[in-house]
Amino acid sequence: MSGIDVDLAVNGLITGLFYALMAVGLSLIFGILRIVNFAHGEFYMVGAYAYTLIALGLGVPAWIALPLAFVTGAALGWLTERTLMRPLYAGYTSWGLMRDEYAVIVTFGLSLFLINLVDKVVGPYAFRGPALVETSRVVLGPVLISGHRLLAAGIAIAVIAITAMLIKWSFWGQQIRAVSQNRLGASLAGIDTAKASVIVFMLSGGLAAFAGALLSPVINASPDVGIFPAIKSYIIVVLGGMGSVPGAIVASLLLGVIESFGAVYLSYQYRDAFGLILLMLFLLFRPQGLFGEKGREV
Amino acid sequence: MTLLSVRGVSKRYGGLTAVDQVSFNVEAGELVGLIGPNGSGKTTLLNILSGLAVPDSGEILLDGAPCQGLTPERLAQRGVMRMFQLTRVFRRMNVVDNLLVAGRALGLGADEALLRADALISELRLDVIRHLDAGQLSGGQMKLLEFGVCFMVPPRIALLDEPFAAVHPTMKEIMGDFIRARHEKGQTFILVSHDMPVVVELCQRAICMNAGGVIIDAATREVLNDPRVIEAYLGGHAV
Amino acid sequence: MAQSSSTSPAVQPSGAQLTTTRTTVEFRAALIAMAVVALIPLGVSNPYWLGVLVVSMYFAILAGSWNLLAGYTGQFSLAPATFAMIGAYTTGLLNHYFGTPPLLGIVAAIVVAGLIGLLLGRAVMRLVGPYLALTTLSFAEIMRLVTANSIDITRGDLGLSVAGLMDSRVGWYYLFLGALVLLLLMFYLLLRSKAGLFLQAIRDDEVAARRAGVNVVFWKTAAFAISAAACGFAGALYAHFAELVTPELGLIGQTGLIVSMTVIGGMGTLAGPLVAAFLVYVMSEWLRDVGGYQLVVFAALVVIFARFFREGLWGLAKAAVQRGRQA
């Protein structure tokens, strides 16, 4: 394995880490509500903007702006869940059986709303947030990486690990998993399913915003910057098996590496298309993803 | 010719055998009761007969022609109509339209379908609510509507999955009258039910399932007095 | 309100809002709206605004087609703009490289878009809700990327220049209007027939539809193909109107507009999406001068309508008329 390959692999894995931050939240939402949040990319975008505006606009140190971006995302997630997600489980007569369609339309609309709102309020120009550290190059063997990216990767690992542990071992983590497996049963067992939904949305929003914040020194944050990360998240959630957090993490890393190698060895132009093609293929032929279980027939 | 012939039909889901080598015949004009405790495989068998599940092995002959593995819509075209245990109607369409869907899909012209829909609405006493969307009906009314949908074009065989479950006595009466009236005219039924009095009243013959297999297939009274049936319901476990 | 007609066999049940009755009412309302649109050039001659209305009609066709697929059949495709782009490029490439006359190119566009729609519809047959949306979204993005990156053939984002059909803006106005009315009529006839019953049944409960004997595979695929063909038609017309074809036609944002118009107008109604297309697009152009918050407003409306007014503007209008009748 040549030096370039190691570099590609490491960079791919790091990109995968950031993907994982976004995909885990989406996976949780799917587990709890059985919907895909089409506005997910906009939480990422809001996080990038929040981080940059707080750090540059208010003169707050980057280290503090980062968690504040998480909080912003979580708050937006809370608001979204409270105002828009209720009909999905509170027995809403008008959309009735068409809850899937409702979820698609309402989150799609929310996505458009947020993109255009930020476009008008903040402006369409791209800008970048402050890096966490100014070291531009760190050398790790054959791998050349920027200091910020390395640090961000470390933070991402920590956050993902904490999240995974919370889901697995904390009280609410177990509640959430119970609701994911069987909503009716969980509520009969006394679990507050509404609260679980709220927590999941807040967590999802916070994580996506955090990812946006971490990456804002690297990406050029513009109002529609969240569209591609969102699509990547959808790909990952399907690949990893809808609702599976470990699956999402593994699929994220996989996608990062595939894209990294694909961009160099196959086509740089179409590097974003690999994931899309994978998504289509999986949805058509293996919707349960790499790790999910095949659903039963009627 | 035997209307329906089921031969050695089996279906497994993972490690569970839901239907185990089931065989029986149904002649034209019979009203056969299908009973058995929960989990005995009755609904899976009905799913297989109506095309919603594909058997792992075995044969099903309708009027002598094999039909296992056919899609639900093909089977409907051939005259197999199935009522669901959890009522399925087209909620955002009104009562008449619900009936028209079945009528038109099964080959009736627009005017004829409307006439038949009218007649069925009368027979099922749904007149007063004919202008409502199906989603606005009460549970019992929905069941009656689903009944109507299944009979817009009289099927070769009607598979009724617990039509009397959780239904108001008045509706039960309407349904019972409907079934009896059609039966007298020669309609063939398989009726899945837990309501023993109704089974005794309507069905001359009963098949009892347990743990996926048929434990007895005989005259209703004989079946209900059979010790194996009693044990299946009261004593033993379904699996 | 409902009179029982159980004593005598009635051919037309009275009082019931049969889907055929409802569809006819909607069709008439849509025709009236089209008549109003037809009269506008008598009073408005500003070519800019006529052009805005032409683009509105382009969107009206797209919204109406998407409504057939999503509103009536329940298939939530996120690819309507993609089929418009496919249609535009079909006629565009034929015209640009082979000098194919526009009218022939437009026919080819309908066929190509329809065929691809057929294939895609068949492929996504088993998918529901978010899965269908995601698959069609991927398809849309892949198509757009391929189109934009195949610079040798399509000239990418620079665009392909294409012959026009006529110089007169008013001429284009009535051509588009004619196309819109033609499609409206086609959809009306389709939805009034048993097809309308079947599509809505599929939307409401696919399993129950199959049980009732509806050939679900056929009808779902047909809806996809028809919708795609109509979108391709619109795209091809637009190509010769704008005399330029770019991948921008297939942007997800365009689909966003189409979805917005349909939701605001009223999904599953004939007239709603058509009227809303005009309202949304004209307002957005008008508001563009006044600060440009139009897209924010419309996106907010989509969310609000989806959350609270499922039946859209058409539903609100219906309710107002009924309240007026009772007063």
Q: Which residues of A168-179 are buried (b: 16+ CB within 10 A; e: fewer)?
A: eeeebbebbbbb
**Residue C199 domain-assigned?**
yes
Say yes or no: C1 contacts chain B, CB-CB below 8 A.
yes
Taking CB atoms and an 8 Å limit, are B106 and C213 in contact across chains?
yes
Q: Which helix (H) or strand (E) holds B217?
A: strand B213-219
Average pLDDT of the segment spanning C99-105: 93
**For B105, which of C19, C207, C213 is closest by C-beta distance?**
C213
Taking CB atoms and an 8 Å limit, are A96 and B135 in contact across chains?
yes
**Residue C23 domain-assigned?**
no
Residue A143 in this model has a pLDDT that exceeds 90: no
Look up the domain containing C190 and give its range. 47-251
Q: Specify the range with the lowest mean pLDDT, choosing from A1-10, C55-64, C205-214.
A: A1-10
Say yes or no: B81 contacts chain C, CB-CB below 8 A.
yes
Whose tokens are 């008329």? That residue is C321
The per-residue pLDDT for A217 is 86
Going by pLDDT thresholds of 50, 70 and 90, the confidence category of residue A292 is: low
Taking CB atoms and an 8 Å limit, are B53 and A297 in contact across chains?
yes
Whose tokens are 């957005």? That residue is C284
Neighbours of chain C (3+ CB pairs under 8 A): A, B
Residue extents of the structural domains in chain B: 4-85+156-235
The per-residue pLDDT for B238 is 45
Q: Which of A229-243, C4-18, C105-119, C251-265 has the highest mean pLDDT?
A: C105-119
**Residue C1 domain-assigned?**
no
Taking CB atoms and an 8 Å limit, are C198 and B128 in contact across chains?
no
Contacts of C137 in chain A (CB under 8 A): 231, 234
Q: Residue A134: count other Cβ atoms within 10 Å of its Cβ.
A: 9
The per-residue pLDDT for C269 is 92
Give the residue numbers in B contacting A (CB under 8 Å), as ranges.
13, 47, 52-53, 91-92, 135
* 8 Å CB contact between C215 and B73: yes
Sites in chain B below the pLDDT cut of 70: 235-239
The per-residue pLDDT for C230 is 98
Number of separate domains in chain C:
1
Average pLDDT of the segment spanning C214-233: 97
Residue range A54-111, pLDDT digits in tens: 988 888 888 899 999 999 999 999 999 999 988 877 655 455 556 778 888 899 899 9
Bigger pLDDT: C89 vs C1:
C89
CATH class of A3-285: mainly alpha
The per-residue pLDDT for B11 is 93
**For A35, which of C130, C292, C302 is closest by C-beta distance?**
C130
The conformation of residue B232, written as its DSSP 8-state character, comes to I
Residue extents of the structural domains in chain A: 3-285
Task: Choose the mutation target among C18, C199, C207, C211 for the interface with B, i.e. most B CBs under 10 Å.
Answer: C211
Residue range A221-252, pLDDT digits in tens: 888 889 888 988 988 988 888 778 888 999 99
The per-residue pLDDT for C9 is 34
- In percent, the amount of chain A with pLDDT more than 70 equals 94
Say yes or no: C276 contacts chain A, CB-CB below 8 A.
no
Residue C275 in this model has a pLDDT that exceeds 90: yes
Taking CB atoms and an 8 Å limit, are A96 and B91 in contact across chains?
yes
**For A120, which of C137, C146, C293 is closest by C-beta distance?**
C293
Residue A124 in this model has a pLDDT that exceeds 90: no
Contacts of A97 in chain B (CB under 8 A): 91
Say yes or no: C157 contacts chain A, CB-CB below 8 A.
no
The per-residue pLDDT for B84 is 92
Query: What global pTM score does this model have?
Result: 0.89
Whose tokens are 């009748």? That residue is C325
Say yes or no: B24 contacts chain C, CB-CB below 8 A.
no
The per-residue pLDDT for C14 is 35
**For A298, which of B53, B92, B135 is closest by C-beta distance?**
B53
d(Cα A297, Cα B21) in Å, to the nearest integer? 20
The per-residue pLDDT for A144 is 78
Order the strands of the B213-219 sheet from edge to edge: B80-83, B157-161, B188-192, B31-35, B205-210, B213-219
- In percent, the amount of chain C with pLDDT more than 70 equals 94
CATH number of the domain located at residue range(s) B4-85+156-235 in this protein: 3.40.50.300
Residue range C124-148, pLDDT digits in tens: 998 888 889 989 998 999 999 999 9
Going by pLDDT thresholds of 50, 70 and 90, the confidence category of residue C298 is: confident
